[in-house]
Amino acid sequence: MRAFITGIILVFAYVLQSTVLQYIEVWNIRPNLLIMLIIYFALVRGSVEGGIIGLAGGILMDILAGKVFGIHSLLGLYIGVFTGIFNKRFFKESYFVGLLFIAIFTFVYEFLFYLINYFIWGETRIIFVLQRIIIPEVIYNCILAIPVYYFVIKVNHWIKNKEKASRKY
């Protein structure tokens, strides 16, 4: 049940990101809803589920906007695993912790994506990319992260209660 609900949420986020969120651009920057979900699910559920969710979300991002298939998948996998490492070390339901992880790992994700693009296509405008793409996306993701994190926490509690009720004996 947990995998099914998470899959539905990822597909819904993919559809939302590819349709509605394109119309709420600010300075040609769109929020990355799939990265937010990968980070949050990894933070709430651990590195194994975070890696699986990261890989699935990365495959969806590769389908959406990938020039080379696999870049988003690998980055999503790594971000999910590395975020999930901190699962036991922090109070997962704190919004501050969620925002901190969104800011850090969105920056890491976008910066690594830029570095991979640098090696593949020779993109050399790092200051421009930092000022115009990476930092505004980090800020935009942090703004939209609060309602997304609230939703993820509620869904996670609902799933835990359903699993607990189904294994009463």
In a domain? residue 165 = no
Tell whether the torsion through CA atoms of 50, 147, 2 and 9 is positive or negative.
negative
In a domain? residue 169 = no
- Per the CB < 8 A criterion, the answer to whether 26 and 140 are in contact is yes
Number of domains in the chain: 1
Confidence label for 92 from pLDDT (cuts 50, 70 and 90)? low
In a domain? residue 163 = no
DSSP conformation class of 19: T
Which residues span the domain enclosing 141? Answer: 2-158
Confidence label for 25 from pLDDT (cuts 50, 70 and 90)? confident
Q: Record the pTM.
A: 0.82
Tokens of 135: 């930092």
Report the percentage of the chain scoring pLDDT > 70: 95
pLDDT digits (tens, 9 = 90+) for 33-78: 888 888 888 888 888 888 899 998 888 888 877 677 888 888 889 9
In a domain? residue 94 = yes
In a domain? residue 166 = no
CATH at 8: 1.10.1760
